[in-house]
Amino acid sequence: MIAEDRSTMVEKNLGLVHSCAHRFRGRGIEYDDLFQAGCMGLVKATAAFDETRGVMFSTYAVPVILGEIRRLFRDGGAVKVSRSVKELGIKAARVKEQLGIALGRDPALSEVAQAMDRTPGEIAEALAATTPPVSLTGSEEEGGGQIDLPVDSPEERLSDILALKQAMAQMEDRDRRLIILRYYGNRTQTETARALGMTQVQVSRREKKLMQYFRRELLEE
């Protein structure tokens, strides 16, 4: 994939980063740190993505983005950004502003990268590491009230579906069938037990354990 295509892909898929970051709000780490970690995951996913494998980019990118965000919790909540990346981000922001004035519009990542003789991936990572997103709960004194987000964001729903599929893919076949029967087939525990050759009590106990598994994989860091 050429550099310009990677730049465009990063720009078009920032919504995936937001939707993934929103899942971890209120857990002790600032949203801008969650967003920055997610952006680093997006850049990594863009650089490694191979479209010839027939997989949608979002399918590949969401687990990578979530992995970078979860790593943030494992590392104690600090986004580890090198001094060189921070300095590059400051320079990139300055160049972006200058280009914007000269072009009369917001320049693309590829244009900023070309002006600095860098790759779009390097510029995207640097800008993400040094520029926090717009506050979603800005006060009136800061220039605006709270910004409401759509409840049923397509990107957020997509990230949840992809994360769920990834979690189910790691399950044993019988556990996966149990979840499909109970939550996709709307079967009762008794009907599920009959289909799987189990007792209703066994299904109930196993279902509780599987719910704990999903909470760990999808909700906890």
Among residues 134, 152, 183, the one where a domain terminates is 134
| CB contact at 8 A, 10 and 42 | yes
| CB contact at 8 A, 164 and 179 | no
pTM value is 0.42
- CATH number of the domain residue 214 falls in: 1.10.10
- Residue 140 belongs to a domain: no
- Can you give the pLDDT at residue 218? 67
Give the structural domain span for 62: 3-134
pLDDT at 138 over 90: no
Q: How far is CA 107 from the centre of its chain?
A: 24
Neighbours of 220 (CB within 10 A): 10
82 to 33, 128, 129: CA distances (angstroms)? 15, 13, 9
Q: Residue type for 14, please?
A: L
3-state SS of 10-27 is HHHCHHHHHHHHHCCCCC
Q: Total domain count for the chain? A: 2
**pLDDT tens digits for 65-83?**
888 888 888 776 555 556 7
**pLDDT tens digits for 78-112?**
555 567 777 787 888 888 888 888 777 878 877 88
Q: Quick one: 124 and 191 in the same domain? A: no
Q: Residue type for 212, please?
A: Q
Q: Residue type for 200, please?
A: Q
